Amino acid sequence: MATEVREDRLAIQASVRELARERIAPRAAEIDRSGEFPQDIVDLLREQDVFAIPFAPEYQGVSGSALTTALAVEEIAKVCATSALLLAVQGLGGYPIVLGGSEAQRREFLPQLASGSKIAAYALSEPDAGSDPAAMRTRARREGEDYVLDGTKMWITNGAVADLVVVFAVTGPGEGSRGISAFVVDGESEGLQRNTIHGKLGIRGSNTAELVFSSCRVPAGRRLGEEGDGFKIAMGVLDRSRPQIAAQALGIGAGALERAVEYARQRRQFGRPISEFQGIQFMLADMAAQLEAARCLTHEACRAIDDRDPGITRLAAMAKLVASDTAMRVTTDAVQVLGGYGYIDEFPVERMMRDAKITQIYEGTNQIQRLVIAKHLLA
């Protein structure tokens, strides 16, 4: 059985790799240059059932495995970090429903996300509540059969284009993290204003938005779990989403390494390819070793998720920390290998370096990951 599962996983990875290199890679530079949301890539991932990978077969998905999803995210990120984020965030938006939703809610919403007929977003951060989500100010007060949401969410990936947004809001003022609840909100709800954020350093084609809720009504049946379950759901989601950001970081770094190796073989100085110089060889070797070490840790975190290992939180934080720091080092070194050509957009490594930076920031900054790891060490 294990062999059959592994064969299925490798088949999915190979299929996504082919799709990424043949259909997504030719669009990557233009997506970055224009900064426009790549609806054509959304359509492609929908048509090829890529959005179904994070979801279990009982909800019309094809996998439901964290490791299989990570392999797919990495393959896409090798050519386009923005496109890889489409898959990662589809999973991110679905995880709260998997963890906190009733069976009826799972059967209503998860097939829509698996098919790609609905695009998801996850709204936790606020202007004054990023690393400290328990300090959120968005409120949800009960009125009859509805909740009324008021407040602002910030830095929400897919925020302005999502059909379904999982929103976290305070239902119990003064109760801290125990007073937070989660809701599935329609993206076109009355009382919801969505403002796209422009001018980003990297992942320029990814939609990032501010969400402003003004007396936005949400049916009580859209609440996930009980009142007060929101913070627990949010933290459980981050344990599952951080390894996917690690996978995105790995893909960015691996793509940069491929380009650096290719360039080093072709570029000649002092009468021979620069790949023959020990200084360049050592740089490439370090890049490859660091990526492989980060990949092993990321896959171990995914295994923990798939096996429901109680060590998920620590491993997820380690994977995200190590993979994103590695991606930043590797892409910077790739620019160095290419020299002046690495500094211009004729080659993709400068884009990869810009894209890598966000992996150290979102899903919890790397400083937060160190706090999480230290907390487990010292418990």
At residue 1, does pLDDT exceed 50?
no
Q: How far apart are CA 227 and CA 141, in angstroms?
A: 11
For the segment 267-291, the average pLDDT, to the nearest whole number, is: 97
Q: Render pLDDT for 317-351 as a digit per residue (tens, 0 to 9).
A: 999 999 999 999 999 999 999 999 999 999 999 99
Q: How confident is the model at residue 120 (pLDDT cuts 50, 70, 90)?
A: very high
Active-site option among 74, 126, 210, 363? 363
What is the pLDDT, as a whole number, of residue 4? 53
Q: Could you tell me the domains of the chain?
A: 2-115 (1.10.540.10), 120-228 (2.40.110.10), 231-378 (1.20.140.10)
What is the pLDDT, as a whole number, of residue 100? 98
For the segment 67-79, the average pLDDT, to the nearest whole number, is: 98
Q: How confident is the model at residue 171 (pLDDT cuts 50, 70, 90)?
A: very high
What is the pLDDT, as a whole number, of residue 5? 78
Say whether 363 is catalytic: yes
In terms of phi and psi (left: phi > 0; alpha: psi -120 to 50; beta: otherwise), the region of 147 is beta
- Mean pLDDT over the full length of the chain: 97
At residue 55, does pLDDT exceed 90?
yes
Contact 29, 348 (CB under 8 A): yes
Q: How confident is the model at residue 74 (pLDDT cuts 50, 70, 90)?
A: very high
> pTM of this prediction?
0.96
Q: What sign does the dihedral 148-152-153-159 (CA atoms) show? A: positive
Q: Render pLDDT for 33-44 as a digit per residue (tens, 0 to 9).
A: 999 999 999 999
Q: How far apart are CA 215 and CA 120, in angstroms?
A: 22
What is the pLDDT, as a whole number, of residue 229? 98
At residue 179, does pLDDT exceed 70?
yes
Tokens for 242? 């951080």
Q: How far apart are the first and last CA of the chain?
A: 38
C-alpha torsion angle, residues 99, 105, 110, 113 (rounded to 10) = -110
At residue 2, does pLDDT exceed 60?
no
